[in-house]
C-alpha cells in the first residue's frame, strides 16, 4: 500500500469538556497518512485515479471547525471517516494534536492517534 501524507493541518475548533474550551476554542493540528494504491494514477499521470490531497485537507479543516465534541478521540474518528469516503483511500492514520490542552503542568503536546481501514 502506498502512502500520501499531510502534516500540520491547522484549524481552530471548539472541542473539549470544559466550558472555556467550548467558548474560546483553540488550535488543533492534524496529521494524516492515507493508504492507497497510487500505481494507476502514476501510470496515467491522472489525478482522478488517486486522492486529491487538497480536497482532503479542506474537508479535514471543515471537520475541525465543525460541530464541537468533548473528546479528541471523537474528532479523530470523524476525520478518519471523512477520509475513508474517498474511493481510493483504503486506510488512514489520523493524529490529532491539542497543543493548548488545559493541563496544569508544562507539556509540549497532547495527541491521539488512530488507524482505520475499509476492512
Catalytically active residues, by annotation: 98
Cβ contact 32:92 at 8 Å:
yes
Half-sphere exposure of residue 19: CA atoms within 13 angstroms, side-chain side: 0
Q: How far apart, in whole angstroms, are the C-alpha atoms of residue 25 and residue 15? A: 7
Residue partners of 33: CB distance under 8 A and separation at least 6 = 3, 4, 5, 92, 93
Q: How far apart, in whole angstroms, are the C-alpha atoms of residue 43 and residue 64? A: 34
Amino acid at each position: 500500500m502506498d502512502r500520501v501524507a499531510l502534516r500540520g493541518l491547522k484549524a481552530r475548533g471548539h472541542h473539549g469538556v470544559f466550558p472555556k474550551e467550548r467558548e474560546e476554542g483553540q488550535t488543533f493540528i492534524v496529521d494524516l497518512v492515507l493508504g492507497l494504491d497510487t500505481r494507476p494514477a502514476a501510470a496515467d499521470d491522472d489525478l482522478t485515479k488517486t486522492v486529491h490531497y487538497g480536497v482532503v485537507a479542506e474537508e479535514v479543516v471543515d471537520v475541525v471547525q465543525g460541530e464541537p465534541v468533548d473528546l479528541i478521540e471523537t474528532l479523530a474518528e470523524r476525520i478518519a471517516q471523512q477520509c475513508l469516503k474517498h474511493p481510493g483511500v483504503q486506510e488512514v492514520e489520523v493524529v490529532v494534536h491539542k497543543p493548548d490542552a488545559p493541563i496544569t503542568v508544562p507539556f509540549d503536546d497532547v495527541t491521539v492517534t488512530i488507524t482505520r481501514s475499509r476492512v
